[in-house]
């Protein structure tokens, strides 16, 4: 059975109590976990970006702020969450998918599982659809280990990016806010600006005003002309640390287009390695 990568709150309400359904509330940091403790969709299990979906390094110059954990570590997480090859997995966050839900989606897909969807509009959409919201914590039932040796979706590392950057045959999409891309401000990393040759398509452009995704046709109009001239193995998407880039990869998949590579280290790695940086500021 083929699944759209996006599911609406109405569609979720119809399957909420299916036996094989695993519901994941993805967040980042103390405030997100405190929110989960107060309110989450009934039966949802919490997953944290820093603790579960990244191997946070001491030095972000080696892999960026949110490098991927090893496949073995992620397989162990899936096992703890009760996720098997038969599971139907729905993930959401409270940031329209951009906080950690899309990252979890990408990682599950990269683990070889297809039955993973992101709740369109996230927690807010669930509330508006009157899905059951609770503070009761669900304890997952550990399942058999899904063993995979390598990530099965394509990634780019720093070495490959240094080859892509000056190469006019490649495509680099930077999904950060325009102010960060242009070099006007940088609230998280050390330096503002962008990788030479990168184009800016902010991830928020994937969304409608209500925080739900644009429909597949609209997203195809956005991305198909850009991706059409570049082989998928020479197209890459990045952000600050490989998190919101997954939001754009999700949108591209929803549009029915081939997935580019994910540059996991993203700007947080590139900007710490004494590499060329471009800004749109007057000299």
The string of DSSP letters for 50-91 reads HHHS----S-TTTT-SSPPPPHHHHHHHHHHTT--TT-EEEE
Q: Based on the residue annotation, tell me whether 246 is a catalytic residue of this protein.
A: no
Phi first, then psi, for residue 225 (nearest 5°) are -60, -30
Catalytic residue among 239, 245, 255, 264: 239
Q: How many residues does the chain have?
A: 283
Nearest-angstrom CA–CA distance, 216 and 219: 5
Nearest-angstrom CA–CA distance, 49 and 243: 9
Helix (H, G, I), strand (E, B) or coil at 161: helix
Nearest to 176 by CA among 255, 94, 283, 64: 64
Nearest to 104 by CA among 2, 18, 30, 25: 25
Beta strand pairing status for 116-119 and 88-92? Answer: parallel
Which positions are annotated as active-site residues?
239
């Amino acid at each position: 059975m083929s699944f759209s990568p996006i599911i609406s709150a109405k569609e979720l309400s119809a399957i909420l109590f299916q036996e094989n359904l695993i519901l994941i509330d993805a967040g980042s940091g103390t405030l997100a976990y405190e929110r989960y403790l107060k309110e989450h969709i009934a039966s949802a299990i919490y997953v944290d970006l820093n603790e579960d979906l990244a191997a946070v390094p001491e030095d972000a110059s080696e892999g960026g702020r949110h490098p991927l954990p090893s496949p073995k570590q992620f397989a162990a997480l899936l096992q703890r969450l009760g996720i098997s090859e038969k599971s139907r997995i729905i993930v959401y966050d409270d940031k329209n998918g951009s906080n950690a839900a899309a990252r979890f989606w990408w990682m599950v897909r990269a683990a070889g599982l297809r039955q993973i969807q992101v709740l369109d509009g996230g927690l807010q959409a669930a509330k508006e659809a009157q899905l059951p919201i609770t503070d009761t914590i669900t304890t997952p039932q550990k399942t058999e280990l899904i063993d995979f040796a390598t990530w099965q979706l394509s990634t780019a590392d720093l070495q490959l990016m240094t080859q892509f950057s000056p190469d006019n045959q490649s495509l680099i999409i930077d999904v950060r806010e325009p102010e960060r891309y242009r070099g006007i401000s940088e609230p998280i990393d050390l330096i503002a600006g962008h990788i030479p040759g990168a184009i800016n398509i902010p991830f928020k452009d994937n969304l409608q005003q209500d925080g739900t995704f644009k429909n597949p046709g609209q997203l195809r109009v956005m991305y198909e002309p850009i991706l059409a001239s570049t082989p998928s193995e020479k197209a890459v998407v990045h952000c600050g640390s490989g998190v919101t880039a997954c939001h754009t990869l999700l949108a591209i998949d929803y549009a029915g287009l081939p997935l580019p590579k994910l540059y996991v280290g993203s700007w947080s790695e590139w900007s710490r390695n004494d590499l060329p940086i471009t800004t749109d500021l007057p000299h």
